[in-house]
Amino acid sequence: MLRHFVIWAIGLVLGLPASGQDGDDAYLWLEEVIGDKPLAWVKERNAESTGELTNSAEFKALNERLLKILDSDDRIPMIEKARPYY
């Protein structure tokens, strides 16, 4: 029951039709998580999302800023010895 609700909810969010032409579950093929058809569908959705998210000027500016912070040598901690402890 919960599985069917989750599949229905995902379909509703994605704007997919609620049922197949013969009344069967139209999203049953998505349950095959290692099949070629579901994986291809997911890769297509991921490509769409990645394109939408990474093509904006805001993303590019944020990406450059974060890379500059992460690549900086200024934040490398220095180790000192205080008595017998480091």
Question: What is the C-alpha to C-alpha distance for residues 83 and 16, in angstroms, rounded to an integer?
Answer: 67
- Find out whether 3 and 27 touch, Cβ atoms under 8 Å: no
Choose between 14 and 73: higher pLDDT.
73
Taking phi over 0 as left and psi of -120 to 50 as alpha, with beta for the rest, 15 belongs to: left
Mean pLDDT of 28-50: 88
Instruction: Please enumerate in sequence order all residues whose Cβ is within 8 A of that of 4, keeping only pairs 6 or more positions apart, or say none.
Output: 25
Query: How many separate helices (H) and strands (E) can be counted in the chain?
Result: 3, 0
pTM (predicted TM-score): 0.44
Choose between 58 and 22: higher pLDDT.
58
